[in-house]
Structure 1
Amino acid sequence: MNDVTGLLVVILVSMMGRTGGAGANNGYCIGNQCFGMIQDPSDFTTAQDQCKDKGGHLMTVRSSVSHDILSILLGNFTGRFWIGLHLKTACPDAAAGLKGFQWVTEDSESDFFNWAPSFDSSCSSPRCVSVSKESDFKWTQEPCGEQAAGFLCEYGLIQPCKNLEVAQDESVTYMTPMGFKVEDVLSLPMGTIATRMPSETKYLCFSEKWLKAPWNCEIQEGGCEHKCAMDPNEVPSCYCPPGQIVSPENKVTCEEATDDPCLALRCDHACYRSDGSYACVCDHGYKLAQDGRSCVDFNDCTDERQCPGENFKCKNTIGGFQCVCEDGYVKSGSLCVDDNECLSAPCEHECHNTPGSYNCSCFEGYKVDPKSPNKCKRHCGKEECAAECDPNDASQCYCPDGYVAEEREDHTVCIEIDECISNYCDQQCTNTFGSYVCSCSPGYTLVNQYNCVKNEDHTDGSQDSTTAPDFPTTSYIPGPTRQPSGVSVGAFVGIILCTVFLIVLVVFLAHHILSRRGKMESSGALKAQEGEAHGLHRVATDA
Structure 2
Amino acid sequence: MRRVLLILLWVLSGAAQGEQPTGGYCIGSMCFALFETKSDFEGAQDVCSQHRGNLMTVRSSVAHDTLSLLLGNTTGQHWIGLHLPKGCPDLSKELRGYQWVTTDTSSNFYNWAKASTFACPPSTPLCITVSKHNNFQWQEDLCERLTDGFLCEFAFLDGRCQGIQNTDVFYTTPFGFRVEDAVSLPPGSVAEHRDGNKQGCASGQWIGAPWSCEIQRGGCEHRCTVDPENRPVCYCQPGFTVNPANGLTCEPAIDDPCVKLRCAHACYKYSDTFLCTCHEGFVLAENKTSCVDLNECSDERQCQENQKCINTQGWFKCVCQDGYRLKGGTCVDVDEFEWAPWRHLCNNNTGDPKSHCGREECEAECDPNNKYQCCCPDGYLLDEYKDHSVCTDIDECEFDADCEQHCENSFGSYECFCDPGFTLVDEIYCEISGTIGVTEKVTVVTVAPTHRPSGVSVGGFVGIIICTVFLTLLAVFFIHHILCGKGKTDSPESPEAHGLHQVTTDTTT
Q: Residue 132 of structure 2 corresponds to which residue in structure 1?
A: 133
Q: Residue 113 of structure 2 corresponds to which residue in structure 1?
A: 116
1:432-490 CA-partner distances (Å, limit 9, x unpaired): xxxxxxxxxxxxxxxxxxxxx9x979xxxxxxxxxxxxxxxxxxxxxxxxxxxxxxxxx
Given candidates 236, 241, 256, the residue that maps to 1:240 is: 236
Please state how far the C-alpha of 1:319 moved relative to its aligned partner: 2.1
Q: Residue 514 of structure 1 corresponds to which residue in structure 2?
A: none
Q: Residue 320 of structure 1 corresponds to which residue in structure 2?
A: 315
Q: How far apart, CA to CA, are the structure 2 residues paired with 1:330 and 1:43?
A: 14
CA contact (8 A) 1:311 1:329 kept: no
CA contact (8 A) 1:164 1:172 kept: no
Sort the Cα spacing of 1:305 and 1:178 in 2 relative to 1 into closer, same or farther, 3 A: closer
Q: Residue 284 of structure 1 corresponds to which residue in structure 2?
A: 280
RMSD: 3.5
Sort the Cα spacing of 1:40 and 1:328 in 2 relative to 1 into closer, same or farther, 3 A: closer
Given candidates 47, 56, 66, the residue that maps to 2:63 is: 66
Q: How far apart, CA to CA, are the structure 1 residues paired with 2:369 and 2:237?
A: 56
Q: Residue 37 of structure 2 corresponds to which residue in structure 1?
A: 40
Q: Residue 17 of structure 2 corresponds to which residue in structure 1?
A: 19
Task: List runs of 5+ in structure 2 lacking aligned partners.
Answer: 340-349, 352-366, 371-459, 465-509
SS of the aligned residue for 1:47 comes to helix
CA contact (8 A) 1:32 1:160 kept: no
CA contact (8 A) 2:161 2:201 kept: no
Give % identity: 46
Please state how far the C-alpha of 1:89 moved relative to its aligned partner: 1.4
Q: Residue 180 of structure 1 corresponds to which residue in structure 2?
A: 177
Q: How far apart, CA to CA, are the structure 2 residues paired with 1:208 and 1:318?
A: 37
Q: Residue 28 of structure 1 corresponds to which residue in structure 2?
A: 25
Q: How far apart, CA to CA, are the structure 1 residues paired with 2:87 and 2:44?
A: 23
Question: Do residues 228 (structure 1) and 224 (structure 2) align?
Answer: yes
1:148-187 CA-partner distances (Å, limit 9, x unpaired): 11111111114343234344xx311111122211112221
SS of the aligned residue for 1:232 comes to coil
Q: Residue 152 of structure 2 corresponds to which residue in structure 1?
A: 153
Q: How far apart, CA to CA, are the structure 1 residues paired with 2:327 and 2:157?
A: 17
1:396-441 CA-partner distances (Å, limit 9, x unpaired): xxxxxxxxxxxxxxxxxxxxxxxxxxxxxxxxxxxxxxxxxxxxxx
Please state how far the C-alpha of 1:306 moved relative to its aligned partner: 4.8
Instruction: Give the 5 Å matches for 1:303-318.
Output: 303-304=299-300, 306=302, 314-318=309-313
Question: Do residues 258 (structure 1) and 254 (structure 2) align?
Answer: yes
Amino acid at match of 2:18: G
Instruction: Give the 5 Å matches for 1:444-463.
Output: none
The farther-off stretch of 158-167 and 132-141 is 158-167
Please state how far the C-alpha of 1:42 moved relative to its aligned partner: 1.3
SS of the aligned residue for 1:211 comes to strand
Q: How far apart, CA to CA, are the structure 1 residues paired with 2:4 and 2:106?
A: 40
SS of the aligned residue for 1:248 comes to coil
Please state how far the C-alpha of 1:69 moved relative to its aligned partner: 0.7
CA contact (8 A) 1:272 1:280 kept: yes
Q: How far apart, CA to CA, are the structure 2 residues paired with 1:145 and 1:52?
A: 18
SS of the aligned residue for 1:301 comes to helix
Sort the Cα spacing of 1:45 and 1:329 in 2 relative to 1 into closer, same or farther, 3 A: closer
Please state how far the C-alpha of 1:240 moved relative to its aligned partner: 0.9
SS of the aligned residue for 1:146 comes to coil
Q: How far apart, CA to CA, are the structure 2 residues paired with 1:266 and 1:60?
A: 56
1:190-239 CA-partner distances (Å, limit 9, x unpaired): 22111011x11111222222221111112211111111112222211110
Q: How far apart, CA to CA, are the structure 2 residues paired with 1:121 and 1:340?
A: 32
SS of the aligned residue for 1:134 comes to helix
Sort the Cα spacing of 1:215 and 1:291 in 2 relative to 1 into closer, same or farther, 3 A: same
Q: Which has the larger radius of gyration?
A: 1
Sort the Cα spacing of 1:164 and 1:93 in 2 relative to 1 into closer, same or farther, 3 A: closer
Please state how far the C-alpha of 1:372 moved relative to its aligned partner: 7.4
Sort the Cα spacing of 1:456 and 1:302 in 2 relative to 1 into closer, same or farther, 3 A: closer
Question: Do residues 171 (structure 1) and 168 (structure 2) align?
Answer: yes
Q: Residue 390 of structure 2 corresponds to which residue in structure 1?
A: none
CA contact (8 A) 1:81 1:148 kept: yes
Q: How far apart, CA to CA, are the structure 2 residues paired with 1:286 and 1:310?
A: 26
Sort the Cα spacing of 1:122 and 1:112 in 2 relative to 1 into closer, same or farther, 3 A: farther
CA contact (8 A) 2:46 2:328 kept: no
SS of the aligned residue for 2:143 comes to coil
Q: How far apart, CA to CA, are the structure 2 residues paired with 1:10 and 1:325?
A: 22
Q: Residue 509 of structure 1 corresponds to which residue in structure 2?
A: none
Sort the Cα spacing of 1:274 and 1:26 in 2 relative to 1 into closer, same or farther, 3 A: closer
CA contact (8 A) 1:9 1:218 kept: no
SS of the aligned residue for 2:64 comes to helix
CA contact (8 A) 2:163 2:181 kept: no
Amino acid at match of 1:58: L
Amino acid at match of 1:228: C
CA contact (8 A) 1:226 1:240 kept: yes
For normalisation by structure 2, the TM-score amounts to: 0.61
Q: How far apart, CA to CA, are the structure 1 residues paired with 2:138 and 2:248?
A: 47
Sort the Cα spacing of 1:225 and 1:157 in 2 relative to 1 into closer, same or farther, 3 A: same
Amino acid at match of 1:151: F
Q: Residue 162 of structure 1 corresponds to which residue in structure 2?
A: 161
Question: Do residues 90 (structure 1) and 98 (structure 2) align?
Answer: no
1:256-286 CA-partner distances (Å, limit 9, x unpaired): 2233211211212221323422221112321
Sort the Cα spacing of 1:86 and 1:319 in 2 relative to 1 into closer, same or farther, 3 A: same
CA contact (8 A) 1:24 1:38 kept: yes
Sort the Cα spacing of 1:10 and 1:240 in 2 relative to 1 into closer, same or farther, 3 A: closer
Sort the Cα spacing of 1:311 and 1:216 in 2 relative to 1 into closer, same or farther, 3 A: farther
Q: How far apart, CA to CA, are the structure 2 residues paired with 1:372 and 1:312?
A: 25
Q: How many residues align?
A: 345
CA contact (8 A) 2:60 2:107 kept: yes
Q: Residue 199 of structure 2 corresponds to which residue in structure 1?
A: 203
Question: Do residues 104 (structure 1) and 101 (structure 2) align?
Answer: yes
CA contact (8 A) 1:62 1:113 kept: yes
